[in-house]
Chain A
Amino acid sequence: MGTMIAIILAGVFTNNFITVKTYGICPFLGVSKKTSSAAGMGIAVTIVMVLATLVTYPVYRYVMVPLKFDFLEIIFFIFIIASLVQMLEMIIRKLSPALYNSMGIYLPLITTNCAVLGVTELVIGDMSQFLAGASMNVGWAVLYSLFAGLGFTLIMILMSGMRERLNYYKTPKALAGFPTAMVTASLICMAFMVFTYIQL
């Protein structure tokens, strides 16, 4: 139970992917102009993160490490992610065209989203700081990726809300677009710095 709480807090707040780890910034800046698209992107990323961890972690730990093929991890992980994304896109298009229209368009972008590769690389590394003494296994890896994804979604939605508001204000020409978004993101980060003082 303690480990579960520690992982949830770490994923969503203390080690938030955007505000602390700075993973997945491209979609964070690119797809956060509207709340609906930000939420869609966030959920799509979360799903791919969970599925990717579910596949890569067991294969890495129980096949690649014993066979000493762990140096091929990057190629293997990116290949799994690319195939997963492709497959997911095909499945969604077939099953639910409505869902595809609202979410599927973000899927191709996810392959090159570092949050996904980042989480698969993170869970095979040293996770002891999030585990509160428990030993690492597939369950914790998937749980961590799920809550890291939800933390990512949370920030996406917060950011899109702020940017929707910002549309009503006039900004100097040089500051329009990315610079304003970055300063906004900086303010969100400052607010989230509070959570790094949580001691688990």
Chain B
Amino acid sequence: MNSGYSAATNDLDYIRRFRGAGACRNMFRKLGKERRQNAVSLVNDGRLFFASLFILRPEIDELNLMEELSERNRTALRICEKMLEEKNLSDEPGSSVPLNSEELHSVLLWMFSTGAYDDGLNDDFDQVLDTSASVLIKTHHEKTILPVMANMVFKRNQKGKYIHDLVWACFQSRDADALRIIASRLRSSAPKDAELARMLLHLPQDVPLRSNYDRQNQYTSYLSWLKENDPYLYFTGESFQFCNEPVPCAVDLEAKYLCKDNSIRVFKPLCQAANEESSSSSNFSKLAEGEKEVLAKHSQKLHRENPSYWNEWMRYPIEKQIHIARNGGGNSYDCNCR
């Protein structure tokens, strides 16, 4: 990620960036007292980065500028207040700020995408970034922020900072792209990055990652596994709050066996299948996990390579299917994903 600052940088951003938050706040306070309209124009500038608005909250209060702020800034400050309030379980549920409005979507996108450059500013700011990402992902299904989120996760991890909420939000996208983006860090020469990528993807920890070859190999193997299973993946909802080795996603073996895409990325037993499928499904569900894996893998491969023979094979009794799969099926990639 570059610095995000260019020649056309807003003065507030410039001062904050190069002289510090204190200098920025002093300048804004002075300007607000002497030339109020100039201060308002600066803070309402479309080019402003969210971090500058965030640090100027006390001055905006002190100068009583709230009503003169742009709609974007007013909404951003209102949502910040909501995100930072210490809510107890016994408090009234629900949010007074409607999270699903299109206006809020664009404001959150501005907050997150310009705020990401200043991740680490302080705990409150980072919390607002994490929560913005959560709302963008969960409420607005805004997946374009995934690469930036992943970048923040790995940068924070390098510094030993808190990553769990951001990781959780990443996987809440239920998007295989989140897995691909994280997987790209398996190739990183920074050991902490590669180790974290491996932990997030729940890959075996005992495979050595010493050389470029090792790292590239694990990356390639994972992508190959992902390519094979992508249509049948579902996200488990497991997180670091739940356990020390969360499994972010798993393969719906029944969907893979029937070659039915799991587009909703949630594990739900297949229903409304055709009669023939329904009977295959019922027989399949009675098998042991190992047999399910062999059969699902073989079915998917056959469907891809020879659809007409797949149709014929699916009509065989399940015992015959297993026999054929065992003799013709390959080894599965040793991934710990369920």
A binds B: no
Interface residues of B (CB under 8 A from A): none
